[in-house]
Structure 1
Amino acid sequence: MDDDRDLTDFARRWAEAERRGDIAALEALLTDDFTAVGPQGFVLDKKQWIDRYASGALIHDSFTWEEVTVRRHGRAAVAVGVQGQQSIYDGRDADGHFRVTQMIVADGAQWRLAAVHLSPTGCRSGLEDD
């Protein structure tokens, strides 16, 4: 767990599991108390996150995880990157690019995703003058 290659491998496995909607892989990659905050502020727990795939509601044609920076903090890490997706959710277009913050924690000898927060890219911060 001292090698940053473990975190790089975790990121690759997570993105691949999301792209494929791989329920078994996501079960193993997410902590039991996983929490997600979606791009419109909704909150999902682990079961709800995975159920989007199990129900067939979420299908990705493309899923990328790029521009990632990782900061280690002992047995935890914070990853910030850009998630791109070409997707359908519940029959509607769900394409987009999102700035994503992940909280990754060491669980024994494995890294697991404890929390994720998605924000649409290109949104104004509210600090600019109109």
Structure 2
Amino acid sequence: MSTEEGVRQLEQQWASAEARGDVEALAALTTEDFVLVGPLGFVLDREQWLARYRTGDLVTESLDWHDAEVRDHGDCAISVGVHTQRGAYRGNTVDGEFRSTHIAVRRGDRWLLAGIQLSPIGAPPAFAQNTSQPAGE
């Protein structure tokens, strides 16, 4: 199996486990030192990330991982794609569409997630929107 195939399979398993809130599956798909950087810049270690489901604080109604491009770096792969979710955290809606970077590492014959970073998808900043005028005008 190619790196791209292995990472895509891992990501499908991850998205499915997140949608089910399956703590055991998520634990099996991640490294011990896994870290999540959330869309507002907060950082969760693996146990904090898993605890969201254990406590029932996070309920994911749907999660779609798409438009991902995988870059192979030997025993590490970087995947950048779009993470679209519907859900609630402690009763508050956490629906959104995020650009997400996944870091996967090869452990023997399988791939594991070592990190995920989510960034909100928005328009370019105001200073980058009008490129027809020279800077300073």
> Kindly tell me: are residues 34 and 123 of structure 1, through their superposed partners in 2, closer, same or farther at Cα, counting changes over 3 Å?
farther
Q: Are the counterparts in 1 of residues 62 and 86 from structure 2 also a CA contact under 8 Å?
A: yes
CA distance 1:129–1:4, shift in 2 (3 Å): closer
Match of 1:121 in 2: 121
Instruction: In structure 2, list runs of 5 or more residues that go unmatched.
Output: 131-137
For the pair 1:12 / 2:12, whether they are aligned, the reply is: yes
Q: Which runs of 5 or more residues in structure 1 are unaligned?
A: none
- Separation (CA, whole Å) in 2 of partners of 1:125 and 1:49: 31
Distance in 2, matches of 1:90 and 1:121, equals 23
Q: Give the letter for the 2:54 counterpart.
A: A
Deviation at 1:64, TM superposition (A): 0.3
Instruction: Go from structure 1 to structure 2 and tell me whether the alpha carbon gap of 1:71 and 1:42 turns closer, same or farther (over 3 Å shift).
Output: same
Aligned residues: percent identity? Answer: 43
CA distance in 2: counterparts of 1:126 and 1:51, whole angstroms: 38
1:40 is aligned to 40
Q: Is the 8 A contact 2:3 2:72 kept in 1?
A: no
Q: Map Cα deviations across residues 54-99 of structure 1 (whole Å, 9 max, x no partner).
A: 1101111111000100000001100000000110111101000010
Structure 2 counterparts to residues 1-130 of structure 1, below 5 A: 2-125=2-125, 127-128=127-128
The TM-score with structure 2 as length reference comes to 0.88
Q: Tell me the amino acid that sits aligned with residue 77 of structure 2.
A: A
Structure label with greater radius of gyration: 2
Task: Count residues in correspondence.
Answer: 130
